[in-house]
Each structure stands twice: as C-alpha cells, then as structure tokens.
A and B are shown apart, each in its own frame.
Chain A
Amino acid sequence: MDLSVVILVEMLYAVASLVLISAGLAVVFGMMKVINLAHGEFMMMGGYATITAVNLGVNVFVAMLVVAPITVGLIGLVVERLVIRHLYGRLVDTMLATWGLSLFFIGVATMIFGNTTTGISTPIPGFSIGSYQINGYNFFIIVVAIALVIGMLVILKSTRAGLIARGTMQRSDIAAALGYSPDRIYMATFFCGSALSGLAGAVLAPLVGLVPTSGGAYIAKAFITVIAGGPSLVAGLLSSAGLFGLVNQIFTFAISPVIGEVALLVSAVILLRLLPQGVTGKFFKGKL
C-alpha cells in the first residue's frame, strides 16, 4: 500500500518535471516554429539567477517564482532582438544559431561562476509515508506544473492576448492586416517562453547541483517531449510528457534508473516512427 502511494507520487513527479522542462520550449516551438536549442542554458541561467538572489538575501520562493523568470525573460528578449528575429521561417538555421547561443552562454556562465558545482538546499522538508521517505519538494514541483498548465490554458483560451497570439501563430499576415504587429507578438511570445524556461530552471535548481553545462541534461528531454507532442501546445505537451514520464518511471522501478532513461529514449524513437507528426498530429487534432 505504502509502496504504491510512493510510486504514484514518483510518477506524478516525473510527468510534472517533464512538463516543467518542456513548457518553455513548447511555447516557442508551438507558437513560432522556432526550436530554441539554448533552452537548456536558459534553464541553467534561471538556476543561477535563483542561487544568486538567495545568496543576496531574497526569499527563496520569490527568487524562484519572480526573479528567475524575469531575469531569463529579459535575456531571451535581447537574444530575440539580436539573433532570432533575423531567422524566422528558417528552421534549421535557427536551430544552429541557438545551438551556438547555448555554447556561448555556457562559456559566459563558466567565466562568471566558474566550473564548480553550486546549489541551494530544498526549502521544503521531506516526510515519510509508512516506511518510505518522500521528498516534500516533489509536491511543490507537481503543484507548480499543474498551475503552469492551467495558467497556459486560461491565458491562451480566454484572454484577448492569447487570442491574438493564437491568431498570429496561424496566419501572421492576417494578424498584421488586422493591425497587430507580428514582430511585437513574436517578441512577447519569446519573452514568455524564455521566462518559462527560467522558471523551470529555478524550480528544479534545489534538486540538482548546478554547473554551467547542466543545461545539456534538459535540452534533449525537452526537445524530444516537444517534438513527440506535435503541433498542439498544451495537449501535445501533456500527452507526451505523460507517456514518457510513465515509461521512464515504470522501467526505473522495474530495473534501474539508467534503463528508465534508455526506455524513455527508445519509446520516443518508436513513437516518432509510428506518428511522425507527433501525438497531436493524429489525436486531439485542432485542440490547444
């Protein structure tokens, strides 16, 4: 009984962390068809922003939920204006340029923070269920992920800004003819996507030792989840994160964590071979 509760929580946690990791990339890719390979580094910078803010005496939750997203969002804004703006519609070129950016940011972070591991302790204590110990912070991550998905749905579906953003995503020329500047909307979208990446990096920062290269651990997973999700933003994200999180945890519990990771990757290959347009290319078509 206790074990099944623990496994359930772990599975929810795995799905939630995949949602968190991929949300920023999903917004940028789903809306703008830009694959931001510097996404992992945006997360890394979110982590560093949190740690720096905490060391300066800011409350840890304020640092994670406010300081990090805004900092990374602003960095994303600069990146969009300087680089990405010139490359819209050239998928491969944006991938290469953002890959270059990711290396650039790793270099900058190494120069500023050094090539050493830094970290903060988790702000929520663990507790035990029966004879098992559970990390209390896992629940915080699950709550943040749920809030994030609901927030995205509400903003995209029921606000005017979301409507305009969705319209621009479908036909930027019509949006322009109706008097909205696609350029500005893209800029705002990229800001939101970067801020989400920063938030994810900040929330996950207490769980990992942060080094300048730790973005690399996220980017592949985020990339796979978003591509396997397909064209729909929220439905795609949820379905692929759910599937991969489940597969990962089943194999982790049955065999070992390494096999769990490998199983996730193998299932991604099989999924893409069967559904080359991603999950939502076939199911939930036309949903958000």
Chain B
Amino acid sequence: MSLTNDYIQQRLEEQFPGQLTQFEEPYGMLTFEAPRELNLKVMQFLFEDPELSFRFLTDLTAVHYPAYTGRELAVVYHLHNLVANVRIRFKVYAPIAQPDVFSATKIFMSANWQEREAFDFYGVNFVGHPNLKRIQNVDEMDYFPLRKEFPLEDQTRIDKDDEMFGRGGSFDFGNRQEDGAPRQIPDTEQ
C-alpha cells in the first residue's frame, strides 16, 4: 500500500485527536502544525510507527513572523520516509518572549547543528540540547540576526561615510559637500 497524504493525516489525527491543525498540501507536501509541547511526541510517532517510519530528518529551520502575536517564531521540520519516498513538513510555533521548544537531538543526531543554527539566527531555545551555543556567528553576539527586526541596509542611503565600501572617502558619489564634509540627510518629514 502506498503511503498517501490522506492516510498519513488520518493516522496522525487518530493518534493526536484534535491537536494537530492547519493541514495543507502546498506543492504536494503534507504540511501541518503541532502544538509546541507535542513536537517530540509527533516526531517520535512518525519515526517509530512501522507504516509511517519517517526516519530521516531532511531539514530543520526557523522562521520569524512578527505579525503573529504570541507565536512569533516557527520551527519547521522536514521529514522523509526514504522507503516509501514521501516527504512531510510540520511546524511548531513559540512566543518570542519565551521561545522554548524541545530538542530533537535524542531522535535525530542531525538535529544537533541545525538546532544550533536555528538558535544562532532566531534565538529558539531548544530545551534538552546537549550543546546549545552559536555556530556561525561569534559567541559574543547578543542578538539574533535573522529576525525581522533587523532589516537589511538600504543600498541608497547617503548618510554613511564608509570609505572601505565605496561610499564617501575619495570617491565622489554625490554624498560629499564642497569642503569634503558629509552631505546632510535631506529632511524627509513633510
């Protein structure tokens, strides 16, 4: 019997009645949302059930939704059943004030660094992780750079004097006054 999305959804709803929501199939991949206390239970069930046996963690990452009050940070898991060749995706949401999510390292060794990366960039606190510290950024960093409150710099700004990167200094990009002082930012308030 082939493992269809409908069947997986049915099995999940039997196991966790009424707790899993937002079942969707964007581009053919079954996607659902689980309460964050249940993330390990869901993963364990998907891993151990002989029919489902999603034994491969393809990807683990986080997303920041500033607009979702009280559930700003999403952790996204992509699981793969290699035998039946079916992929699924599920998400848990955590409030940014206390972003505690259980760590999947006990089930998948590969979750270790991926969770460290999600912690590094989004500050998701993976409870039970053996070594939760920054992985790409410097240890002294005190913010989480991929969160949406850090917008990328506007390339057209002219108030910065930055010789190293081609703005200001000996190059004339129109952001210097005659005497070499940086040009004032035009007042944008109407």
Partners in one complex: no
